[in-house]
Structure 1
Amino acid sequence: MKLLKLSVVITLLLITPLISSAQELKFGHIDMQELIMHMPEKQEADRRLQQEAQTLQNRMRVMSEEHERKFREYLAERENMPELIRATMEKEIQEIEQRLQNFQSMAQQTLSRKEQELYQPILEKLQRAIDAVGEENGFIYIFDVSSQVVLFHSDDSVDCAPLVKAKLGIN
C-alpha cells in the first residue's frame, strides 16, 4: 500500500510540470493573404508586374497583326499565285504561327519568373515579421488560416495580425 501511495505521489510530481506547461502553450493564427494585401510593397509589385504583362501583350499584338496581314494577303491572292510562291507564303505563315506560340509560351514563363522575383521579398519580409512576433510573444505556433489547412481554432488562439501589422508598420 505504501508503495502504491509512493508511486502515485511520484507520478503526480512528474505530471504536474507537464500539465502546467501545457496550459502555458500559446497558439496564434493569422490570415497571410489579407496581410499581404495591406502591404505597400504588394501594390508596387502588382503595378510592375502589370507593366511587364502590358509590354509583352503589346509585342504579341504586333506579331498577331503581322500574322493576320500575311494570312489575308495569302487568302486574297492564293488562287492566282504560282505554286512556288503559294508554298513559300504558307511556310511563312506557319513560321509566324510557330513564333507566336513560342513567344506566348516564353511570355508566360517570363511573367511567372517576374512574379516570383517581385513577390518573394514581400513574403520573406512578412515571414520575418511573423517570426519576430512569435518569438517576442512566446507563441508555440502561428497558423495561417488563409491556407485552409487549420481545421479548427478556438477563441484561445490569438489573432496575431495586429501584432504583425505593427511590426511591418502598416494599418
Structure 2
Amino acid sequence: MKNILVTLLAVVGLSFATVAQTKLGHVNSQEILVKMPEYKQAQTKAETFAKELEGSLQSMTTEYQKKLAGLQSKEGNMTNTERETAISELQQLEQRIQSFQVSAQERMQKQESELLTPIIEKVRGAIKKVGETNGFTYIFDLSTGATVYQNGTDVTPLVKKELGLQ
C-alpha cells in the first residue's frame, strides 16, 4: 500500500513538472503574412493575371453579343439552314465561354497557390525558429480558428522581428 502511494505521488509530481515545463504561445500568421512585401507583390501579380483573364472573357462575351445581335437583325431574311448554322455557332461560342470561365477559375487558384506557398512556408519557418529559439512547446495559430490557450504568449512580434517586419 505504501509503495502504491509513493508511486502515485511520483506520477502526480512528474505530471506537474511536465505541465510546468510546457511553454505555450500563439501567433496570428495572417497578420504577419499581409505585412510581408512578398505577399503584396503576389497580390499584385494575381490581380494582373485576373485582369488578363477578365479581358479575354469580356472579348468573348462581346463577340457573342455581336453575333446574337446580328442573328436577331437578319433572322427574318435567313433561310432555315442559315438560322440553324448561326444558332449552332452561338451555342458553340456560349460553351467556349463557359469552359473558359471554369478554366480561368482553376488557373486563378493555381496561380494563387504558386504565389503564396513559398511565402507561407517562409512564415512557418520563422514561427518554427522562434519556437525553437524561445523554448516554446506549442505555438497556436489564431488565424486558423484553432483552440488557443488564452494565457499563452503572443509570439507574433517575435516572428515579425525574425522576418524583419515592424
Alignment deviations for residues 97-135 of structure 1 (CA, whole Å, 9 cap, x no partner): 011001111000000100000000011001000110111
Residue 161 in structure 1 maps to residue 156 in structure 2 = yes
Which runs of no fewer than 5 residues in structure 2 stay unpaired? none
Please give the root-mean-square deviation of Cα atoms over the aligned residues, in Å: 1.5
* Percent of matched pairs sharing the same residue: 34
Q: Secondary structure at the match of 2:68?
A: helix
Q: Which residue among 76, 81, 84 is the counterpart of 1:84?
A: 81
Q: C-alpha displacement at 1:60, in angstroms?
A: 0.6
Partner of 1:124: 121
Q: Which amino acid aligns with 2:37?
A: P
Q: Secondary structure at the match of 2:86?
A: helix
Q: How many residues align?
A: 166
Q: C-alpha displacement at 1:13, in angstroms?
A: 4.3
- Whole-angstrom CA distance in 2 between matches of 1:21 and 1:154: 19
Q: C-alpha displacement at 1:19, in angstroms?
A: 1.8
Partner of 2:69: 72
Partner of 1:110: 107
Q: C-alpha displacement at 1:12, in angstroms?
A: 3.5
- Whole-angstrom CA distance in 1 between matches of 2:67 and 2:10: 88
Which runs of no fewer than 5 residues in structure 1 stay unpaired? none
